[in-house]
């Protein structure tokens, strides 16, 4: 409908209300007692980002060890500890709670609520996360866990891993699990009950759709892992034999329970990222999202199928062919809604007027990386091919393409997009772009060759490889890439810290965005909104801007030359 | 259809052709060069028919994947370059296009149907062991799985931290008494269907010799099976445990040495003699220690 509009229409700034500065100066103790969803959101984001940096340092140590054949820098014991810490940290202490952090801050704002449904439960959920992380990392002073983030039995049983680090891992799963479960119930209750007037399910922002499904998946999957790790805990400490084959237990039972949680967990990690991208692309393409209903529906379909694909992690275990076939087909099926999302995102960019700001670049980077991870996922779903590829560096490359793309790049997109709202300051664009390019190039240099390393026969989780195996060059390239990637992340960290004081003042709506969080000041006051507007579409801010244009007497450009009706 | 075309209206047909030509050239060079990239673009193979069949199945998927990759990444790159912000441009306010969306959903599903059909058609040759060749060793046996004529060599592969043990002969899983065994290096006759019965005595290990086929876990309390049929006598294949099994996981390597059937029979007899000699050495040592008053 805008095809004939004149181009240089100034977009009016919306200042919906005035808020005076808070009367008393905020004291630091407030960070410990707060139940404000925005403060809790910031606590979440800062804490999980710190864990991300720790996990990143662990990854660099792993890459250093593999940078040369027969390297003796790190002992096999410490190497196993490092990849266990790295995987566990990135999944349980970074991606999942980081998404909860974004949801905490922006979900109430996006749906026009004044806080979460249960503010004190919300605080509990953050503090459980922090204490879970502390319990886990305190094992560094004794003996960290070393059986991998998946802790396969019987290796993780007391007989083979007697150290308390394994128990610390179990407590981490328990404590962060309760934290996520409580948070998920809170998100669900908030979304269902506290939406602004007029915000039906068809007008819910796509990020909120993603968080709704994220919450449902957590509620579905977490009790299963909680049960499984409890069984492991009693096996290790109280003499039960759930997973002990010498006493009638089953090691495969652990794998079924773990992956029944573990695969939905993958979607728990990337669906909110999909939501972030679905919010950012339309803003910077200056176009509505292409196929809102299809994107929302594909989120639901992905969640449903996510609970039916777990045994594709177990193709090489003793399972009958009919099971292999079923899980191959279900894994194929999940590629369809995922593909639909990718097509819809590209169609959103198509014929847009794309402004290359850092958040958009991270989104486009995400799509291009995630496509590779999706395609290699099809290779792995074909079980005879998986027999060659599983447990090799091909899989390592695959899930880093999925999760670095689907989670890390989308999280950075979200940080760059929402930082002005959270702090009231803009981030530096040149620094942001430099960080993006270093991360994008570094990522691909690190992980693209890992496909080849896996195809050449390099298994996962080996602390050494021989010099004559033809793996040296691949690993050296990968190690160099990891440091480029690390440098890119460092630039963003500098940007985040520096812009706190030096950044340009953002104003309420620097991006001219579509959703309600931009209706209030940056950062928003304690109760978010003085007036909650009536929502008339998926893009309430566009409607509000249009209304302001009309009321301020500036003719709306799209109706130029047409009779104007004043409201 | 016209609505779809309107939504995807091209800006310049010359540039579009140029892009298409570049894409085709990329696909073509990758497809035709891929044979030269074993281990780089494709998994290892060449030691056994199942590894070869997995390799060819992988290549079919790779070709389809390359096309999908080029089309999707091409569309993405084209959109972000073509539609970057310019003065005077106004974004088209398109909310969706149901027919287009149904088209790409069905299109994606169809590709997967083709992949599923190809996989199931190749499955038999990967999963089911064939008969041994006429110039291979001929055995009769009763355990699962079995080639059509029932003749195969069964070897029990037992994983433990951090070494593989191979017990040679039928019924090795039910009664290994007196059967010859070896560690680390498995010796097999060429052109003979070898069925492996995978077991573990402690934690989960995974048997993997890349050139002889896919990996299969040795899970304590379970039996898992795989097979291979190596045509080249004199070949030596290397592999290693592929499932994290503890601190020295990386050192749990394995070798498979392929010899002629005659050499195999000779090796088996020699191995039996070596085991017997080692046993009698133990007896002598024990008698000596007892006599010296140490035991």
Secondary structure (H, E, C), A34-80: CCCHHHHHHHHHHHHHHHHHHHHHHHHHHHHHHCCCCCCCCCHHHHH
Residue B168: phi and psi, rounded to 5, are -100, 125
Question: Residue A229: is it exposed, middle or buried by C-beta count within 10 angstroms (0-12/13-18/19+)?
Answer: buried
Closest CA to A369 of A337, A399, A411: A399
Q: What is the pLDDT of residue A250?
A: 93
pLDDT at A6 over 50: no
Q: What is the pLDDT of residue A320?
A: 87
Question: Residue A162: is it exposed, middle or buried by C-beta count within 10 angstroms (0-12/13-18/19+)?
Answer: exposed
Q: What is the pLDDT of residue B145?
A: 73
pLDDT at B149 over 90: no
pLDDT at A149 over 90: yes
User: Is B197 an interface residue toward A (CB < 8 Å)?
Assistant: no
The average confidence (pLDDT) of chain A is 90
B222 φ/ψ sector (left φ>0, alpha ψ -120 to 50, else beta): beta
Which run of H or E residues covers position B226? strand B224-228
Section A523-533 average pLDDT: 87
CB neighbours of B190 closer than 8 A, spacing ≥ 6?
B135, B136, B230, B231, B232, B233, B258, B259, B260, B261
pLDDT at B33 over 60: no
Tokens of B209: 């010799």
Does the active-site annotation cover A39? no
Interface size between A and B, measured as CB pairs under 8 A: 268
pLDDT digits (tens, 9 = 90+) for A443-490: 999 999 999 999 999 999 999 999 998 899 999 999 999 999 999 999
What percentage of chain B carries pLDDT values higher than 90?
56
Distance CA A145, CA A161 (A): 8
Q: Which range among A41-45, A504-508, B34-38 shows the weakest confidence by mean pLDDT? A: B34-38
Q: Give residue for tokens 């503090």.
A: A127
Closest CA to B33 of B63, B3, B2, B77: B63
Asked if B90's CB is within 8 angstroms of A456's CB, the reply is no
* Interface test with chain B among A318, A340, A429, A466, by most B beta carbons within 10 Å: A318
How do beta strands B163-168 and B181-183 pair? antiparallel
Q: What is the pLDDT of residue A7?
A: 46
Residues of chain A contacting B4 with CB distance shorter than 8 Å: none
Q: Write the ipTM.
A: 0.85
Tokens of A378: 């099809």
Distance CA A181, CA A199 (A): 26
Confidence band, pLDDT 50/70/90 cuts, at residue B37: low
Asked if B244's CB is within 8 angstroms of A80's CB, the reply is yes
How do beta strands B194-200 and B153-160 pair? parallel
Q: Evaluate the CA torsion angle A40, A42, A46, A49 in order and state its sign.
A: positive
* Interface test with chain B among A245, A294, A469, by most B beta carbons within 10 Å: A245
pLDDT digits (tens, 9 = 90+) for B86-138: 887 888 888 888 898 999 899 999 999 999 999 999 888 888 888 888 777 65
Closest CA to A172 of A124, A141, A129: A129
The minimum CA-CA distance between B279 and chain A, rounded to whole Å, is 29
pLDDT at B287 over 60: yes
Q: What is the pLDDT of residue A124?
A: 96
SS3 A145: coil
* Interface test with chain A among B67, B85, B241, B253, by most A beta carbons within 10 Å: B85
Say which of B44, B90, B204 has its CB closest to residue A5: B90
Structural contact between residues B169 and B180, judged by C-beta atoms closer than 8 angstroms? yes
Does the active-site annotation cover A341? yes
**Which CATH number describes the domain made up of A35-463+473-559?**
1.20.210.10
pLDDT at A13 over 80: no
Task: State the CB neighbour count (10 A cutoff) for residue B233.
Answer: 18
Residues of chain A contacting B43 with CB distance shorter than 8 Å: 385, 388-389, 455
Q: Which domains does chain B have, with CATH numbers?
A: 2-84+96-127 (no CATH), 153-291 (2.60.40.420)
Question: Residue B148: is it exposed, middle or buried by C-beta count within 10 angstroms (0-12/13-18/19+)?
Answer: exposed
Confidence band, pLDDT 50/70/90 cuts, at residue B143: very low
SS3 B169: coil
Asked if B213's CB is within 8 angstroms of A387's CB, the reply is yes
Q: Give DSSP secondary structure letters for A509-541.
A: -TT--SSGGGGS-SS--TTS-SSPPPP-SS-HH
Q: Evaluate the CA torsion angle A369, A372, A374, A376 in order and state its sign.
A: negative
pLDDT at B4 over 90: no
Q: What is the pLDDT of residue A564?
A: 35
Q: What is the pLDDT of residue B25?
A: 67
User: Is B202 an interface residue toward A (CB < 8 Å)?
Assistant: yes
pLDDT at B161 over 80: yes
To 10 degrees, the CA torsion angle through B173, B177, B179, B185? 60
Q: What is the pLDDT of residue B31?
A: 54
Does the active-site annotation cover A338? yes
What percentage of chain A carries pLDDT values higher than 70?
93
What percentage of chain B carries pLDDT values higher than 70?
84
């Amino acid at each position: 409908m805008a095809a004939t509009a004149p181009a240089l229409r100034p977009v009016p700034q919306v200042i919906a209300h005035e808020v005076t500065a808070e009367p008393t100066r905020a004291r630091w103790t407030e960070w410990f007692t707060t139940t404000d969803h925005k403060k809790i959101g910031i606590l979440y984001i800062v804490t999980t980002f710190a864990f991300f940096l720790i996990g990143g340092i662990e990854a660099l140590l792993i890459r250093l060890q593999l940078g040369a054949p027969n390297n003796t820098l790190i002992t096999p014991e410490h190497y196993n500890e490092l990849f266990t810490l790295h995987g566990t940290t990135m999944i349980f202490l970074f991606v999942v709670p980081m998404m909860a952090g974004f949801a905490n801050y922006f979900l109430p704002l996006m749906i026009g609520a004044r806080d979460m449904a249960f503010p004190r439960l919300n605080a509990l959920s953050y503090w459980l996360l922090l204490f879970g992380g502390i319990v886990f990392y305190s094992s560094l002073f004794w003996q960290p866990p070393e059986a991998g983030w998946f802790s396969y039995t019987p290796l993780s049983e007391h007989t083979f891993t007697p150290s308390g680090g394994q128990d610390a891992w179990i407590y981490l799963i328990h404590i962060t699990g309760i934290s996520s479960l409580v948070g998920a119930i809170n998100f669900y209750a908030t979304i269902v009950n506290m939406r602004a007037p007029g915000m039906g399910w068809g007008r819910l922002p796509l990020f909120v759709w993603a968080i709704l499904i994220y919450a449902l998946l957590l509620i579905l999957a977490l009790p299963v892992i909680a049960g499984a790790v409890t069984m492991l805990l009693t096996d290790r400490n109280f003499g039960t034999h759930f997973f002990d084959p010498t006493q009638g237990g089953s090691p495969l039972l652990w794998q079924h329970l773990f992956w029944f949680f573990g695969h939905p967990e993958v979607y728990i990690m990337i669906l909110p990222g999909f939501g972030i991208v679905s919010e950012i692309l339309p803003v910077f393409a200056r176009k509505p999202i292409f196929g809102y209903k299809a994107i929302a529906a594909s989120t639901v379909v992905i969640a449903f199928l996510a609970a039916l694909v777990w045994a594709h992690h177990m193709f090489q275990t003793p399972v009958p062919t009919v099971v292999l076939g079923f899980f191959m087909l279900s894994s194929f099926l999940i590629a369809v809604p995922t593909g639909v999302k990718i097509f819809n995102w590209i169609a959103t960019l198509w014929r847009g007027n794309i402004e290359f700001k850092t958040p958009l670049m991270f989104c486009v980077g995400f799509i291009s990386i995630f496509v590779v991870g999706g395609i290699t996922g099809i290779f792995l779903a074909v079980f005879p091919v998986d027999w060659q590829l599983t447990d090799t560096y091909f899989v390592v490359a695959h899930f880093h393409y999925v999760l670095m793309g689907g989670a890390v790049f989308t999280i950075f997109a979200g940080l760059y997009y929402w930082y002005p709202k959270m702090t009231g300051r803009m981030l530096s664009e040149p620094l942001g772009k430099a960080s993006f390019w270093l991360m994008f190039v570094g990522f691909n240099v690190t992980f693209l060759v890992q496909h080849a390393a896996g195809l050449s026969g390099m298994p996962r989780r080996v602390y050494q490889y021989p010099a004559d195996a033809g793996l040296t060059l691949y690993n050296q390239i990968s190690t160099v890439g990891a440091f480029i990637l690390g440098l890119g992340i460092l630039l963003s960290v500098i940007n985040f810290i520096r812009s706190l004081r030096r950044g340009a003042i953002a104003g309420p709506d620097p991006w001219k965005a579509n959703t309600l969080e931009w209706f209030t000041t940056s950062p928003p006051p304690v109760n978010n909104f003085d007036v909650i507007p009536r929502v008339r579409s998926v893009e309430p801010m566009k409607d509000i801007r249009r209304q302001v244009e009309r009321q301020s007497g500036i003719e709306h450009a799209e109706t130029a030359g047409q009779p104007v009706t004043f409201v | 259809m016209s609505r779809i075309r309107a939504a995807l209206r091209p800006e310049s047909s010359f540039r579009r052709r140029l892009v298409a030509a570049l894409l085709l050239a990329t696909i073509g060079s990758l497809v035709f060069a891929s044979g030269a990239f074993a281990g780089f673009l494709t998994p290892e193979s060449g030691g056994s028919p199942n590894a070869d069949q997995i390799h060819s199945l992988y290549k079919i998927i790779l070709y389809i994947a390359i096309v999908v990759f080029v089309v999707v990444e091409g569309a993405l790159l084209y959109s972000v370059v073509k539609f970057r912000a310019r003065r005077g441009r106004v974004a088209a306010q398109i909310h969706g296009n149901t027919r287009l969306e149904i088209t790409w959903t069905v299109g994606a599903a169809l590709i997967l149907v083709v992949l599923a059909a190809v996989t199931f058609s190749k499955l038999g040759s990967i999963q089911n062991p064939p008969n041994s060749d006429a110039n291979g060793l001929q055995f009769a046996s009763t355990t699962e799985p079995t080639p059509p004529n029932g003749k195969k060599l069964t070897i029990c592969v037992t994983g433990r931290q951090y070494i593989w043990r191979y017990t040679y002969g039928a019924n090795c899983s039910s009664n290994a008494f007196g059967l010859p065994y070896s560690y680390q290096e498995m010796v097999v006759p060429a052109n003979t269907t070898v069925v492996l019965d995978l077991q573990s005595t402690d934690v989960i290990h995974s048997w993997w010799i890349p050139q002889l086929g896919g990996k299969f876990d040795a899970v304590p309390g379970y039996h898992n099976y795989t097979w291979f049929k190596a045509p080249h006598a004199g070949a030596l294949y290397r592999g290693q445990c592929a499932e994290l099994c503890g601190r020295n996981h990386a050192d749990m390597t394995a070798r498979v040495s392929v010899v002629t059937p005659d050499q195999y029979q000779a090796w088996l007899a020699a191995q039996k003699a070596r085991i017997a000699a080692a046993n009698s050495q133990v007896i002598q040592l024990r008698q000596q220690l007892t006599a010296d008053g140490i035991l």
